[in-house]
Amino acid sequence: MTKYIVVSGGVISGIGKGVIASSTGTLLKSLGLRVTAIKIDPYLNIDAGLMSPLDHGEVFVLNDGGEVDLDLGNYERFLDVELSRINNITTGKIYSEVIEKERRGDYLGKTVQVVPHVTDAIQNWVERVAAMPIDDSGEQPDVCIIELGGTVGDIESAPFVEAMRQFQFRVGHDNFCLIHVSLVPVVGSVGEQKTKPTQMSVRDLRGAGLSPDLIACRSSTPLDEGVRGKISMFCHVAPEQVLAVRDVSSVYHVPVLLRENGVVDFFRKRLNLDNIKVSDERRLVGKELWDKWTALTSSYERLFDTVKIALVGKYTDLHDSYISVYKALEHASLGCRRKLEIKWIEASDLESETLKTNPIKYHESWQNLCSADGILVPGGFGGRGVEGMIMAAKWARENKIPYLGICLGMQIAVIEFARHMCGMKEANSAELDPDTPTPVVVYMPEISKTHMGGTMRLGLRPTVFQPNTETSKVRKLYNDLPSVDERHRHRYEVNPEHVSTFESNGLKFIGRDETGERMEIVELDDHPFFVGCQYHPEYLTRPLKPAPLFHGLIAASIGQL
């Protein structure tokens, strides 16, 4: 029987439920258990694909093309698994399924209601995911971690809370455990830790029929023993069930922190984990995982040399918009034994218009760009800030600064090269200027122009290295493989009509799709590292296995490529 661990949140959203859930999964994997994860998002959207990065953070893309919440990226990175779109439940998906059943007549003329029909649909979905194999063994996972998005007490999350209340009886007490993540704010000049918000959120949780087995108290400082005792008393849990989850230097320390709080021993007793049959081989793999993880956290504290990367993007006001890019840079920096320093540059601040409206911001942005060891231009949509990105690519090309362009960033590199090296003064993307006389980036013919949701070129697709590319830096980073599989998310592509002109001037398209018609990887001759890729390599990065192109950028930035 699969064990279920639900992670809920109180007081405020964005409190760290995803990191707690991922860290819990890492601890359980270290025991040799197979772990899967589900993220429940209470919004009515079918998926995250059409949500603004500034509103909800990054849209994470899975192998099957699912556009999902960024927390699934956390799960994949921490657990080193590959999930599918079914691992992300939204209100929109559940209601669509229920309404479709009603139209088919599956409910036999009954009045369709939130209870039991919607709550049953949620529980059935959870059980379907928990039965799906997570690795090549084909066996059912031992543990399923369910992150309940939003905050307990929200109107939109009420059906999911009720579904979990019912679910605890469906699977039984020994197979269901709840972690409630709450905030313990530090207020006043003396820095007093306040427990009332946690008391109120636990009261709301109990009022909905769920009792926490563990209360993870998020605080900027270590939890005082008196505060722990007070939460224990008023929230009806033992003191050892109150976890002090203080702010730490990196998220990789959180599993270590939870282990120090006795979480592993608690789960062993509460969920009878010792009764699960785990082979000696899996136990050994789990132990090796934990040894590598603790070595990673220890090395993080001993890094002194830094590498400075300028991230030139459109959504830099919310860093979560680029969380996978940030993590990929961090993983690559750790692999090169460097501490990462990111300079977040809003692309439009590099443009001449900003010099008129905000000259201080303009000069600060250019100072950050010019002082960087490497430059990264990530993906994005729309025309805002594009000219600033083109200026950043030009600076990197002319001054031999390592450059990595991802998706839009690759198209930016092509536009810049076309304008300044190929004599195409009016070169542009059809996305940015539909009437451009020189479209070097065009709309892909198979993509719908009437529906936007789920219609891009999405998911895992092959990139084939072209003949005579054996000396390519990028190909060497991929260990000279003939082809690689990476995740995509785009509507536009480099115009194949201009490829021969670019290549004759030194910009080589060393990777293409299996037809040879779609450009996937571009690399500039006679440059330390000037690379663009149409896919998103950041989606497959792991703390212990950095993405090759990010490793290349960091290595080139510190002169080790």
Cα angle value 336/338/344 (rounded, 5°):
115
Residues belonging to the active site: 407, 536, 538
Looking at residue 545, the DSSP 8-state letter turns out to be B
Burial class (CB in 10 A: 0-12, 13-18, 19+), 136: exposed
48 token code pair: 């995250």
Of 407, 453, 448, residue with least CA distance to 67: 453
**β-bridge pairing 306-313 and 242-246:** unpaired
Of 539, 484, 490, residue with least CA distance to 510: 484
Of 211, 65, 69, residue with least CA distance to 152: 211
- Cα–Cα distance between 529 and 509 in angstroms, integer? 14
- Cα–Cα distance between 505 and 412 in angstroms, integer? 17
**Do the beta carbons of residue 226 and residue 193 sit within 8 Å?**
no
User: Using CA of residue 517, residue 520, residue 521, residue 522, what is the dihedral sign?
Assistant: positive
Burial annotation 216-234 (CB, 10 A radius, 16+ → b, else e): bbbbeeebeeebbebbbee
- Which residue carries 């810049």 as its tokens? 416
- Cα–Cα distance between 535 and 457 in angstroms, integer? 10
